[in-house]
Amino acid sequence: MKDYIVMQASREIGIQILLAKRAFKNIGIKSEHDHLAALSSMHSFLTHCANISKLLWSPPPRRGHNNIKSILGVDLAERIGIKNTDFPLLQLRDSRDHFDHFDERLVEWIEKCYPKNPTDPKISVLDWSVGTKVKSPNQFVVRHYDPDKKILTIMDEELCLADLDTELTKLQGYIDGPRILGE
C-alpha cells in the first residue's frame, strides 16, 4: 500500500506542477492587458504550489484525517529523496498562506493601517496593482505584481514567482508523473 500511495501522490504532484506552470505562463500573458486575470492566475499558481508542498511535507493532520506522513512514517519528500534544503520556496508557506487565510490577513492589515489616534500618520494602501512598484513611506502593499521582475508582493512580503517556477522545473526531475510535450 505504501508504494501505491507514493506512486499516486507523485502522480498528483506531477499534475499540480503542470497546472502551476500553466498558471505561471498565464500571469505573463494576462499582466499586460488584464490585471484582474493576472492576479487570478497568481492565486492559482500559488494554490498549486501549496498543494505540492502539502503533499511533499505533510502539515499536521486535521479533523482526524490521516495524511501521507502518518501512513508512510516520513514525509513524501524524504521518501522520494528530496532534502529539506532542495526546495526552500516550495516549503515557504507565508506568501501562500496570505491567500489561503486572507480573512485573517485582511483584519491584520486593517489594524496595521488604520490610525489608532487621530494624530497618527495615515498609512496608504496599495492593492490590486500590476506594474513597476514604487513604494512610498507609510504605504502598505496588500497585493502587487511586478511583471518585469516577476515579484509578487502580498501583505508587504515579496516572493519571486520566477524562482518558484524554477523550483517546480527542478522538482519534475524527482517526480515520475505526467508531462506535457514541449514544456
Taking only the tens place, the pLDDT of each residue in 98-122 is 777 778 887 887 777 777 777 777 7
pLDDT surpasses 70 at 53: yes
More confidently predicted of 102 and 158: 158
More confidently predicted of 52 and 116: 52
What local confidence, expressed as pLDDT, does residue 95 receive? 67
What local confidence, expressed as pLDDT, does residue 138 receive? 82
81 falls within a domain: yes
- Per-residue pLDDT averaged across 74-96, rounded? 89
The candidate with the shortest Cα–Cα distance to 80, out of 14, 18, 161, is 14
pLDDT in tens, 133-144: 877 888 888 889
Polymer length in residues for the chain: 183
Residue 157 belongs to what H/E stretch? strand 157-160
Report residue 43 as a C-alpha cell. Answer: 492565486
76 falls within a domain: yes
Q: How does residue 124 score in pLDDT terms, banded at 50, 70 and 90? A: confident
CA–CA dist 107, 126 (Å, integer): 16
What local confidence, expressed as pLDDT, does residue 180 receive? 46
CA–CA dist 183, 19 (Å, integer): 12
179 falls within a domain: no
What local confidence, expressed as pLDDT, does residue 181 receive? 40
Question: Which letter does DSSP use for residue 150 in this model?
Answer: T
Q: How many domains does the chain have?
A: 1
Q: Of the segments 33-42, 92-101, 157-166, which one has the largest average pLDDT value? A: 157-166
Q: Domain span at residue 73? A: 2-172
183 falls within a domain: no
What local confidence, expressed as pLDDT, does residue 183 receive? 45
- Per-residue pLDDT averaged across 156-169, rounded? 94
29 falls within a domain: yes
pLDDT surpasses 80 at 94: no
